């Protein structure tokens, strides 16, 4: 079975984790500190980095560190992994959804501008599947309205925008290192930011709100969670990070081959390549009904032929949690079409050309030769 994703773990990663397990310190410690410095150097822009046990925790901590809470509104795209909106609910604020572009799956400044109210305090652009949001107009809008720009770059480690790596801008940017991401720390995430006060505060928030004085005595001045990353995960990340450029180059090669070899068909909407894309995922929209199938039948058809497909993602505003805020079908047509038709194709550095060709051949068979037969 060819899966839609697979982490790239080799002997060096295994050995690094084993060394930590054999040491006297396996939770948050020197490896976390080392990876924070390495990530800051990689991103550039003079930012600092703080590691978390997930990208979700990093997003939550960033909102808390900027005092986002009850009575506040935060603008988010209706198409993302649900964590993007869940963290807004978690801190007591209200998520305000906006639609996305059908091909890029990213929000645009026009949608954000239309959603701004006196209660709006922040916007969370999501760099979907590794494609950068057009950030310059977002920043200009945010400056006019005094909004926090918190970038959800869970899928965008290594993505570039206008020649700079996402995460180097100085405003808070959050990454994920889940096993399906371009590099992994098993579970894990990071926040990059240039504001020392914010970095200090998220340090407290990620570990019970604790601060220590010179004698090692603790004090707690605000709520904090248990969001720290263990050294075991950081050790894995320290091996993965130097390989990221090569990983992303292979992803790009595979994505360009998909764009070349997949069929052009009215039922199929393909993504597009842009400069700086890190190609975390290769997601298409397939109008299965137009070829006499359901999406579930298509997925099963591929599975029977040895290929696993993913679904990234359902439209968030249609989940029961967010319907309670008054959202309904028809509110965001592009997000809803993506949610109903999306399929994620296999894409990971160790996917072979032959395996990828098998995927492409099956799409030709399905769309051009009547795959149901």
Strands (E) in the chain, as ranges, are: 48-52, 73-77, 94-98, 120-123, 148-149, 151-152, 160-161, 164-165, 173-176, 189-193, 210-212, 218-220, 268-269, 282-286, 342-345
Quote the tokens at residue 227. 């969001």
Q: Are 299 and 307 in contact (CB under 8 A)?
A: no
Angstrom CA distances, 151 to 31, 55, 160, 176, stand at 25, 11, 13, 12
Q: Is the pLDDT of residue 73 over 60?
A: yes
Collect contacts of 317-324 with beta carbons under 8 A, ≥24 apart: 317/78, 317/97, 319/82, 321/86, 321/89, 322/85, 322/95, 322/97
| pLDDT tens, position by position, 318-346 | 999 999 999 999 999 999 999 999 999 99
For each of the domains in the chain, give its residue range(s) and CATH number, in order of start: 11-243 (3.40.640.10), 244-368 (3.90.1150.10)
| pLDDT tens, position by position, 86-101 | 999 999 999 999 999 9
Q: Quick check: pTM over 0.75?
A: yes
Q: What pLDDT does residue 51 have?
A: 98
Q: What pLDDT does residue 371 have?
A: 54
User: Annotated catalytic, 181?
Assistant: yes
Edge-first strand listing for the sheet containing 94-98? 94-98, 73-77, 120-123, 148-149
Q: What pLDDT does residue 61 have?
A: 98
| pLDDT tens, position by position, 202-243 | 999 999 999 999 998 999 999 999 999 999 999 999 999 999
Q: Tell me the β-bridge partners of 126.
A: 152
- Cis? peptide before 150, omega within 30° of 0: no
Q: How far apart are CA 139 and CA 242, in angstroms?
A: 30
For the chain, percent of residues with pLDDT exceeding 90:
97
| pLDDT tens, position by position, 246-276 | 999 999 999 999 999 999 999 999 999 999 9
Q: What is the mean pLDDT of the chain?
A: 97
Q: What pLDDT does residue 370 have?
A: 65
DSSP letter string, 157-224: TT-EETTEETT-SSS-EEEE--TTSSS--SS-EEEEES-HHHHHHHHHHTBTTEEE-TTS-EEE-S--
Q: What is the mean pLDDT of residues 175-193?
A: 98
Q: What pLDDT does residue 373 have?
A: 44
Q: What pLDDT does residue 318 have?
A: 98
Quote the tokens at residue 63. 């909102």
Which of 34, 35, 36, 32 has the alpha carbon at shortest distance from 193? 36
Q: Which of 121, 181, 200, 261 is catalytic?
A: 181
């Amino acid at each position: 079975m060819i899966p839609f994703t697979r982490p790239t773990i080799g002997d060096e990663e295994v050995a690094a984790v084993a060394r930590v397990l054999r040491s006297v310190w396996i939770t948050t410690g020197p490896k976390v500190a080392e990876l924070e410095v390495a990530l800051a150097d990689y991103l550039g822009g003079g930012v600092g980095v703080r590691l978390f046990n997930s990208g979700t925790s990093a997003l939550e901590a960033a909102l808390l560190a900027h005092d986002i809470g009850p009575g506040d509104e935060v603008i988010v795209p209706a198409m993302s992994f649900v964590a993007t909106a869940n963290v807004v609910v978690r801190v007591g604020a209200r998520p305000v959804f906006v639609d996305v572009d059908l091909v890029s799956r990213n929000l645009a400044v026009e949608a954000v501008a239309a959603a701004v109210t006196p209660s709006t305090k922040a916007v969370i652009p999501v760099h979907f599947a590794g494609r950068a949001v057009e950030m310059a107009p977002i920043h200009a809008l945010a400056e006019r309205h005094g909004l926090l720009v918190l970038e959800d770059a869970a899928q965008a480690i290594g993505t570039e925008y206008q020649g700079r790596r996402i995460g180097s801008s100085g405003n808070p940017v959050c990454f994920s290192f889940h096993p399906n991401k371009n590099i992994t720390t098993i579970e894990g995430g990071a926040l990059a930011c240039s504001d020392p006060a914010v970095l200090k505060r998220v340090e407290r928030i990620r570990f019970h709100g604790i601060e220590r004085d010179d004698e090692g005595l603790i004090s707690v001045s605000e709520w904090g969670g248990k969001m720290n990353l263990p050294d075991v995960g950081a050790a894995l990340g320290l091996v993965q990070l130097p390989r990221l450029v090569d990983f992303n180059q292979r992803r790009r090669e595979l994505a360009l081959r998909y764009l070349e070899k997949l069929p052009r068909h009215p039922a199929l909407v393909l993504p597009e390549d842009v400069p700086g894309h890190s190609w975390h995922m290769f997601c298409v929209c397939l109008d299965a009904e137009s070829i006499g199938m359901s999406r579930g039948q298509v997925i099963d058809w591929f599975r029977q032929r040895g290929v696993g497909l993913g679904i990234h993602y359902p439209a968030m505003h249609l989940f029961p949690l967010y319907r309670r805020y008054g959202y309904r079908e028809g509110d965001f047509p592009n997000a809803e079409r993506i949610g109903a038709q999306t399929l994620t194709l296999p894409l990971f550095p160790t996917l072979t050309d032959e395996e990828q060709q098998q995927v492409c051949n099956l799409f030709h068979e399905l769309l051009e030769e009547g795959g149901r037969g």
